[in-house]
Amino acid sequence: MKALPLGAALSAAVLCLSVSAHGFAYCLTRTCDPETMQCELDSTRTCIVSGKTLFWPNSCVSYDVQKDGSQKLNISYDALHTVVVDAFQKWLDADCGNGTHPSIRVADYGAVTCAKPEYNKDQPNANIITFHDQSPWPHPNAVDTLALTTVFFNGDSGEIYDANVEINSAEDSFAVGDAKGTQVDLNAVLTHEIGHFLGLSHSAFSDATMYSSYMPGMTTLEQDDVTGICLSLPPNRVPLGSECTPRHGFSTECGQPKTGCCATAVGSTGSQSQTLGLFAFALGLTAWRGRLRLRRSARAPRR
Amino acid sequence: MNWPCGGQRGLRSGLFPAPARRPPCANLRADMNRRQTLGLMGTLLAGLIAPRLARATTARAVALGDLVRRSTRIAHATPLEGSSRFEDIGDTRHIVTYTRLRVEDPIFGDTGETEILVRTLGGHVGELGEIVHGEAQLALNESCVVFLRANADGIEQVTEMAQGHYPLLADSGGALRLQASRNMPRLVGNPGAAVAQLANLRLPDARALILGVKR
């Protein structure tokens, strides 16, 4: 009976030692936004340490691979799916000590049609991993981007609502397995991106998968990655639920544009109507001010 | 500056979240006549409808020469305030943040503006937050060297995201040195990478190196 607490204590000690040995090289993603708030940094000024850490609230999260794979690179849905499953498994298998693992499981909800990294505030969602084949890559100030992960979350609690990974097959060439020449190792890229998906930020430890430098074949987790994911999703945490379904339900399709003046769906171009409504209001205000000015000038005595 | 309240020539319309204080805008609003305002709003509308940009999390390391060539402005600047809102980026709705920066030293692309407005991806609107791993984070009051690229709408963004952002940190002797951005994307190796050349350089040395590359 004493073995478990002792083991837990030992694993905690090992965890603490490994953390201090690496000087907290990994960073957890936090709610504090340094562009609009004063955020506290660690002593090395590499991690934000104020605000809540981002976390998946339930013990399960779903993910979905986009159905088309990359027709341009001749990487099928099945091939991409295999790489994604493998990348998730690496993180889920992380040894948190005493035979425990990060407190999350993943559910594959199958192929989805939607290829947009969106979050719908009042419609079903999907956490997608998708290629972007169409040229040009829609982000012209970042043409050297290979893949990007976008995470939506509750800014007060840190609860993750949605995460999506987009791979830039429009501009770059990826290989499953051995990357040759200028090809990029898709396995290495996705192992890193799934770390972001699960709530990790970058690491300052140069061997870590979450370090900001890529090496082909760099697909295994280092101790720094393991420490990070085990603290982000500790084995003994109490999840809020066990559901895997995305927020507001699951859909294989992208969010549908809403009609009317007050649509507020995020991740849908249809919600432009809100902006246009505001624009119309501002335009009306300007016209009203112009009329007021004309009236005043008409009343004013002429010289 | 082509965007509301971006600098001395800027103006902010009621469409945009108002920052806590903005004296240049308050003075300028009175100077704008109706036609100018309507013209600007038309431009804004076109800008809102037109598809737009960006974010990253794994990227090819950009060479310093490429980073300089792709930038329309390079400056030593200090972020003063930021404000977030929803915008359509490409065909997807995202949160973006507009940060107002005070120009301490216009290293390249000087237009005489003392303040500039820069858009980055991610931020908070209401309870909803969005983070784009690899995007530059222009932390308040943290001076930096920033490489900027204006898009077709005149909106300035950080060139190659975090690869174009270098916070400044004083060393033990008090000299300011460039640091790699905290949100640096995972980089595919490049021996001539800008981050490898610029990180830890003293500010005057970095300035000289950048201008040397520009020539």
- List, for residues A23-75, the tens digit of each pLDDT value: 557 888 899 999 999 999 988 788 899 999 999 999 999 999 999 999 999 99
Average pLDDT over residues B189-203: 89
Average pLDDT over residues B160-178: 95
Say what the pLDDT of residue B2 is. Answer: 39
Please report, to the nearest 10 degrees, the dihedral formed by the alpha carbons of residues A212, A215, A217, A219 taken in order: -10
Say what the pLDDT of residue A217 is. Answer: 55
The CA distance from A276 to B158, in Å, is: 27
The CA distance from A20 to A50, in Å, is: 19
The CA distance from A31 to A258, in Å, is: 29
Contact criterion met (CB below 8 Å) for B100 and B5: yes
- Domains delineated in chain B: 4-214 (2.40.50.120)
In terms of C-beta distances under 8 Å and separation of at least 24 residues, what long-range contacts does A9-13 make, across chains too? A10/A97, A10/A98, A11/A96, A11/A97, A11/A98, A11/A100, A12/A97
Residues in Cβ contact with A52 at an 8 Å cutoff, skipping those fewer than 6 apart = A30, A31, A156, A157, A158
**Contact state of A269 with B141 under an 8 Å Cβ cutoff:** no
| Residue B189 vs residues A132, B71, B194, B213: alpha-carbon distances, Å | 23, 21, 11, 20
Say what the pLDDT of residue A111 is. Answer: 98
Q: Give pTM, 2 decimals.
A: 0.77
Say what the pLDDT of residue A134 is. Answer: 87
To the nearest whole number, what is the mean pLDDT of chain A? Answer: 80
A75-86 as b/e, with b when 16 or more CB fall inside 10 Å? bebebbbebbee
**Contact state of B60 with A144 under an 8 Å Cβ cutoff:** yes
**Contact state of A148 with B38 under an 8 Å Cβ cutoff:** no
A208-232 as b/e, with b when 16 or more CB fall inside 10 Å? bbbbbbbebebbebbbbbbbbbbbb
Find the range with the poorest average confidence among A25-34, A230-239, B156-165: A25-34
Say what the pLDDT of residue B63 is. Answer: 93
B37 CB neighbours in chain A (<8 A) are: 286
Of the candidates A34, A35, A145, the beta carbon closest to that of B56 is on A145
The CA distance from B26 to A153, in Å, is: 35
**Contact state of B124 with A38 under an 8 Å Cβ cutoff:** no
Q: For residue A9, is pLDDT > 80?
A: no
Bridge partners, residue B88, by sequence: B93
Contact criterion met (CB below 8 Å) for B47 and B39: no
Q: How confident is the model at residue A202 (pLDDT cuts 50, 70, 90)?
A: low
Q: Which two tokens stand for residue A52?
A: 């809540």
Say what the pLDDT of residue A79 is. Answer: 97
Find the range with the poorest average confidence among A28-32, A134-138, A175-179, B96-100: A134-138
pLDDT digits (tens, 9 = 90+) for A132-167: 998 777 777 888 888 889 999 999 999 999 999 999
Query: What ipTM is given for this predicted complex?
Result: 0.77
Of the candidates A119, A142, A272, the beta carbon closest to that of B54 is on A142
The CA distance from B132 to B157, in Å, is: 14
Nearest to A210 by CA among A179, A230, A189: A189
Q: Which two tokens stand for residue A180?
A: 């040759």
Of the candidates B14, B58, B60, the beta carbon closest to that of A193 is on B58
To the nearest whole number, what is the mean pLDDT of chain B? Answer: 79
DSSP label of A270 = G
A118 CB neighbours in chain B (<8 A) are: 92-93
Contact criterion met (CB below 8 Å) for A76 and A86: no
Interface subset of A 256-295, CB within 8 angstroms of B: 265-269, 271-272, 274-276, 278-279, 281-283, 285-287, 289-290, 293
Say what the pLDDT of residue A105 is. Answer: 96
B14 CB neighbours in chain A (<8 A) are: 278, 281-282, 285
Task: Give the three-class secondary structure for A225.
Answer: helix
Q: Which two tokens stand for residue A134?
A: 């169409």
Of the candidates A118, A119, A140, the beta carbon closest to that of B53 is on A140
Q: For residue B215, is pLDDT > 60?
A: yes
The CA distance from A130 to A115, in Å, is: 6
The CA distance from B85 to A151, in Å, is: 16
Strands A213-214 and B186-188: parallel
B11 CB neighbours in chain A (<8 A) are: none
Q: For residue B186, is pLDDT > 50?
A: yes
Contact criterion met (CB below 8 Å) for B20 and A284: no
Strands B115-121 and B123-125: unpaired
Single-letter amino acid code for the residue at A111:
A
**Contact state of B130 with A151 under an 8 Å Cβ cutoff:** yes
| H-helix or E-strand spanning residue A56 | none
Q: How confident is the model at residue A263 (pLDDT cuts 50, 70, 90)?
A: very low
Contact criterion met (CB below 8 Å) for B124 and B95: yes
The CA distance from A60 to A103, in Å, is: 8
